[in-house]
Amino acid sequence: MRTPVRLERRLEQPRWLNWAIPVISLVTALVLGAIVLWLTGKNPLEVYDRILERGFLGKRPLQGTLITATPFAFTGLCAAVAFRMGVINIGGEGQFYVGAIGAAWVGIAMTGQPVGVAVVAMVVMGMLFGAAYGSIVGVLKARFNTNEIITSLMLNYIAGILLNYLIFNSRSYWRDPRSMGFPSGKSIAERNEWTDYVIGGVKIPLGFLIAVIAAGAIWVLYKRTRFGFEVGVIADSPRAARYAGIRTRSTIVLVMALSGALAGLGGASDVGDFRHILDAKGLQLGGFGYTGIVVAALARFNPFSTLLVAFLLGGLTNAGYALQGPDFPSGLVGTIQGLILFTAVAGEILVRYRIRPNRRRAQAVAS
């Protein structure tokens, strides 16, 4: 059986692929999404037009998009940092929850301190909690060689149950004792709420700015330091890394801690920037961790592209919230995100292969 095209291995990887592949992937995903919409009796152009309008055009949509993009930026960085070393951390979701728990704790507890101190404390606690939760996966992988995909995923479910326990099924410190009918979280002190910065008439959440700084720091760490170099060697060949004397085990734990810290930072921003409480239900409905994997994959694990892709997917999701209704069923945004992940994965094939028309036999006959 002969296929019309065949794959030919690339000997070198041209630079233009770095931006061409994500663009091709995104466009293909939108085309596939259009087919799904068309098959299910919707007008794809109309739906996309409304997503564009409600997600990106104008100050209000942009503001909403930045709010949705902020958690995606953190979970995207979380996934990118780990995937870069070949550690598949899909625990961003749980690490995000746990970071939110840590940040909400100090946010509620600190009442009299200067504003700056409280914000820093929330950031640090979010990162510490996220890092600790991420290290569990790292230690299990480094010490017992367990599959990090399954352990990190199981920890997501456990973190979700922990959230439910803290807010709904206990009288914990995080729960508002006055909320009797429908339990909710206790508000953090009002002065500890994170401020927005207005640039060009658009309010930018502090969390998004922190994500930009974090992306810069990761870029420096991975491109300019010995640690980053070692991570690169482990990614290419763990065995070579061991022979070169790199301590692969502790590097795995460190990378997982860093990855978890980034997701935990996202959780801190969720509490400080947006919700101001530990919102057990809202956190679990967001699915931020899983979207972060899509973000990182499409960004090809580059920290700055991660921010850009987070913004794009933030717009899609934001429009999805705004439009949800009979014309725009729930599940549509998740489907499009999944399609983007598919095409981003499939697009990676262009890095390794060239697609050539299959004419081998014809040539053989001619010669």
Enumerate binding residues for other proteins (CB under 8 A).
7, 9, 36, 40-41, 88, 90, 140, 143-147, 149-151, 153-155, 157-158, 161-162, 164-165, 169, 287, 290, 293-294, 297, 329-335, 337-339, 341-342, 345-346, 348-349
Q: Are 29 and 363 in contact (CB under 8 A)?
A: no
> 244-248, long-range: CB within 8 Å, 24+ apart, which pairs?
248/142
Q: Are 197 and 179 in contact (CB under 8 A)?
A: no
| Spatial distance between the Cα atoms of 119 and 193, rounded to a whole number of angstroms | 8
In the complex with other proteins, the residue whose CB is nearer, 151 or 318, is: 151
Q: Residue 353 Cβ, how far from other proteins at the closest point, in Å?
A: 8
Assign residue 14 a region: left if phi > 0, alpha if psi is -120 to 50, beta otherwise? beta
In the complex with other proteins, the residue whose CB is nearer, 104 or 298, is: 298
Label residue 316 exposed, middle or buried (CB < 10 Å: 0-12, 13-18, 19+).
Answer: buried
In the complex with other proteins, the residue whose CB is nearer, 233 or 350, is: 350
Q: Residue 206 Cβ, how far from other proteins at the closest point, in Å?
A: 27
DSSP E strands, the chain:
5-9, 196-199, 202-205, 353-357
In the complex with other proteins, the residue whose CB is nearer, 53 or 348, is: 348
Rounded to a whole number of angstroms, the distance between the first and last alpha carbons of the chain is 22
In the complex with other proteins, the residue whose CB is nearer, 60 or 352, is: 352
Q: Residue 107 Cβ, how far from other proteins at the closest point, in Å?
A: 24
Q: Residue 144 Cβ, how far from other proteins at the closest point, in Å?
A: 4
In the complex with other proteins, the residue whose CB is nearer, 90 or 256, is: 90
Tokens of 210: 């922190």
| Spatial distance between the Cα atoms of 32 and 228, rounded to a whole number of angstroms | 37
Q: Residue 290 Cβ, how far from other proteins at the closest point, in Å?
A: 5
Q: Residue 176 Cβ, how far from other proteins at the closest point, in Å?
A: 19
